[in-house]
Chains A and B, each alone.
Chain A
């Protein structure tokens, strides 16, 4: 064995154990019958997949896609100017980049709880607004789709900013000068030169944000309350309260399949995925 491959082996083994094996288990479970107290039993069945066609689940899938799409779009709109700013800030680039990834130093769970403290009826925002007599009744900031989207955008914005920054940073400034030289106003330069040339970064960022948003359950659980059920929560439910492991397995496989179809259709001909 070549030395190079020897060093690769631990990673390969780790991936096999932690990714492929659970995936195989999920596939097997999805074809079994639920046990009375959780777990799975024989006989084999495809009933877990046929149940997916129930419109109840279709609506949850659609809602999840919608929320993930809105969060991704917002990340792009907010992240692009930020990435552009960082790419053009010369020697302070590294400072700003470390500020972007600073939130990663704290657990995502704690940061999401922090949003609850900000948004709830007796939270900081409502208290301040009430104390200033701007509002009389607390605003319903928490436990709705808006709060979930806010939490997702907050959590995944860095995953959009970093790939965008990487492409913008490599963008040849003389191309922007050339566009201005040929009569393009700044807005036209953005639309006709900067954005098309950043397409790979936009795609990479969109994938990195959209996929985890699609499967989120923590954010929707904490900020969305009981009203916002997304696929992630549905899957989690099957393995906990509902004790229907086979159906939970089928749901997560369906989610994975749909996400992969979307990813590959987003890929342009002849281009790599990321």
Chain B
């Protein structure tokens, strides 16, 4: 594998009784990256995570970590840690007990004063020093999520696997935690493999995104590449609303309504605060949508003209 690749999946597949969950996925994850696996639920992204963690055995293919093949090792022998979707905090242990849990099994570091400092340090990083002696049941959702993070990063894994860690939080908090998570990743320098079905989450946090659909990899690239140059129609649609005009894709925000251009009729106007969403029908009957400034005044039935910059056109295979 290339020198900067930390984790590599080679032709990985997983069959369950009734279906193939992961189908021949090959992927290289660079050291130190914030890497996202993005796709709708049931696309196999969590199964990939579970095969890396060691909870599922691949039907075929290999998992390589740091130049070592790990797919046959039990979970407790892999230097990867997981932040579970439900957090899976131990309810009978305090925050401190949860964070210390893995240190006792870590053969590299014999339990000692070093550990005490590390636990304190990690609790500080996630701003939970004051709640070290609380039980998980006494914490808020956001705090629980931070305990799950602390418990994993205290072990300094090669890769931290995050299985939709924000999905249990309420929407307001979720946006705030995105930034925090990104900052934490930069600070601790651990490679993050982040599983999500939320394209906004993936776009806002990742260095690289792999988009999955029905067990297969659709496209791998930076957030900008994936959004602006999607290679398949699935990627284009999954990353955000897309107008398909004669087989060519144009994002709604790239469409402007001007005095000249292709004729269209407004069919609906939705006010969304910071912008307006305009639904229109072209002369040939194709439906398109545009995103315009909130103060623009359009009425359903109104005849308009639309135009866009050819550079914004997306062509998919």
Contact = CB atoms under 8 A, between A and B. Distances in A.
Interface of A: 172, 174-175, 177-185, 188, 192-193, 196-197
A177 B82 CA distance: 9
B106 A183 contact: yes
Contacts, number: 59
Interface residues of B, number: 23
Contacts of B53: 177, 181
Contact of B86 (A174, A181, A184, A185): A174
A163 to B, nearest CB: 18
Contact of A197 (B92, B106, B155): B92
B14 interface: no
Contact of B84 (A178, A185, A188): A178
Nearest to B107: A183
Interface of B: 53-55, 74-76, 80-82, 84, 86, 88-92, 101-102, 105-106, 151-152, 155
A226 to B, nearest CB: 48
B272 to A, nearest CB: 38
Contacts of A172: 86, 88
B105 A183 contact: yes
Contacts of A181: 53-55, 75-76, 80-82, 152
30 contacts: A172-B86, A172-B88, A174-B84, A175-B88, A175-B90, A177-B53, A177-B84, A179-B90, A179-B101, A180-B55, A181-B53, A181-B54, A181-B55, A181-B75, A181-B80, A181-B81, A181-B82, A182-B81, A182-B101, A182-B152, A182-B155, A183-B102, A183-B105, A183-B155, A184-B101, A184-B105, A185-B105, A193-B90, A196-B92, A197-B91
B76 A185 contact: yes
Contact of B88 (A177, A184, A188, A192): A177
Contacts of A184: 76, 101-102, 105
Nearest to A177: B55
A180 B92 contact: no
Nearest to A195: B92
Task: Please name the 10 residue pairs, one residue from A and one from B, whose CB atoms are nearest each other, closest first.
Answer: A183-B105, A182-B102, A178-B88, A180-B75, A174-B88, A196-B92, A181-B82, A183-B76, A183-B102, A180-B76
Given A183-B102, A183-B106, A184-B105, A178 B76 contact: no
